[in-house]
Amino acid sequence: GAVVSQHPSRVICKSGTSVKIECRSLDFQATTMFWYRQFPKKSLMLMATSNEGSKATYEQGVEKDKFLINHASLTLSTLTVTSAHPEDSSFYICSATLRGGAEAFFGQGTRLTVV
């Protein structure tokens, strides 16, 4: 299967600061990537669809000014959590599809803790 790499795997930041999470497709080009958030013992909640070269599409209820998404190349999408607060602490996961197909491959996730 295709490989999606996410970095960092864990990050702790102070309240009020911003954190950037990277999602890379290592062996394929991904015109579309997806960002999810997962709460403990809960499923993945789609936050936004990241499109290369254009603005991201956010799901209802997700603050686009707080969760900035940039998809500058066919292999890299970034999620920046701006002015982070403790309630933003969560597990963030990205995914990408191969050649626009349906099968999505996931990164290893980023555990964000805001203190």
Partner 1 sequence: EDQVTQSPEALRLQEGESSSLNCSYTVSGLRGLFWYRQDPGKGPEFLFTLYSAGEEKEKERLKATLTKKESFLHITAPKPEDSATYLCAVQASNTNAGKSTFGDGTTLTVKP
Q: Which residues bind partner 1 (CB under 8 A)?
A: 1, 4, 6, 32, 34, 41-46, 49, 91, 93, 95-97, 100-109, 111
Q: Are 3 and 27 in contact (CB under 8 A)?
A: yes
Tokens standing for 74? 């066919």
- Asked if the bond preceding 40 is cis, omega within 30° of 0, the reply is no
DSSP annotation of 3 reads -
* Identity of the residue, 15 or 29, whose beta carbon is nearer to partner 1 in the bound complex: 29
Q: How far is the CB of 44 from partner 1 (least distance, A)?
A: 5
H-helix or E-strand spanning residue 39: none
Q: How far is the CB of 62 from partner 1 (least distance, A)?
A: 14
Distance CA 22, CA 115 (A): 21
* Identity of the residue, 75 or 109, whose beta carbon is nearer to partner 1 in the bound complex: 109
Q: How far is the CB of 80 from partner 1 (least distance, A)?
A: 19
